[in-house]
Amino acid sequence: MFYDKDSDFSLPAGLRAACKATVMTPKPNDKMLSYAQSLDKADAPPEDMALGSYFAQKVTLTCQ
């Protein structure tokens, strides 16, 4: 799933009045992009690297 804009993510009607969602899209640097593209399907980055966190969008939900 990828959200182009914050408004592409929608909350259920029951949460809209009390909550706000913010979508954070990471901007990996050229070095990280190059490294990820160099991996073969059989390759895996070191576990402590958390490669996916450099590319995955995060949705932060703030409720009052």
Q: What is residue 34's DSSP assignment?
A: H
The reply to whether 19 falls in a domain is: yes
pLDDT computed for residue 62 by the predictor? 94
Please give the average pLDDT of every successive group of 10 residues along the chain, which has 64 residues: 84 92 92 89 76 89 93
The answer to whether the CB of 5 falls within 8 A of the CB of 37 is no
Global pTM?
0.64
Quick count: other Cβ atoms within 10 Å of Cβ 42? 5
pLDDT computed for residue 30 by the predictor? 95
Per DSSP, helices labelled H in the chain are 13-16, 30-38
The answer to whether the CB of 50 falls within 8 A of the CB of 58 is no
Count structural domains, the chain.
1
The reply to whether 1 falls in a domain is: no
pLDDT computed for residue 40 by the predictor? 83
N-term to C-term CA, the chain = 27
Q: Which domain holds residue 43?
A: 6-63
